[in-house]
Amino acid sequence: MSEDAQLKLRVTQELKEYIEEQAKNNHRTINGEVVYRLEQSKWINKELIEAKAHEFACILASALIQDPEVEIHGTVHGFRQPTIKGVEQAFELFLYRDPSNRKNLGVEKIEDGIRFFSDSAEYIIKNNNAFPDGAYTINHLSRILEKLYFLPMLRSSIND
């Protein structure tokens, strides 16, 4: 049986108060809260973040293309498949349904396609390569949402 090791920490008063508040809310001791959070941080990694971002993006993309305003070219295995214009329309619906999304995200037509962008990344659909890796057009939308919205959001929430 191993003994627990002691660790002395210096933290700001603000952080100390935050830990005390969270410990109280979670019905833990301060030590228990710190240990719990450190244990949890061991499991947060890049793959988990990417998997969650992909999952959230696929769910949102599937919901957005159900809007009757989104242009589709047909269905595949029962799923609506947007045209490239439909991908743009669905992304714009996402932007305009929640005004906070408009701060860091945008879409614009470029000479040879459509550019979707954020403060730190971009995704381009070229007119001559409408299908990503031979996949369905809905994959464009889920990849756009994943790369420009969910990955940055999840990464920043971990760093906050």
Structure tokens at 131: 């299908």
Q: How high is the mean pLDDT of the chain?
A: 85
User: What pLDDT shows up at residue 129?
Assistant: 64
pTM of the model: 0.66
pLDDT at residue 45 is higher than 80: no
Distance between CA atoms of 149 and 129, rounded to whole angstroms? 23
User: What pLDDT shows up at residue 131?
Assistant: 60
Distance between CA atoms of 71 and 15, rounded to whole angstroms? 50
**Which is more confidently placed, 43 or 77?**
77
Assign 1 a pLDDT band (cuts: 50, 70, 90). Answer: low
User: What pLDDT shows up at residue 84?
Assistant: 84
Q: 78-118 pLDDT, tens per residue?
A: 778 888 889 999 999 998 887 787 778 999 999 988 999 99
The 10 Å Cβ neighbour count of residue 13 is 7
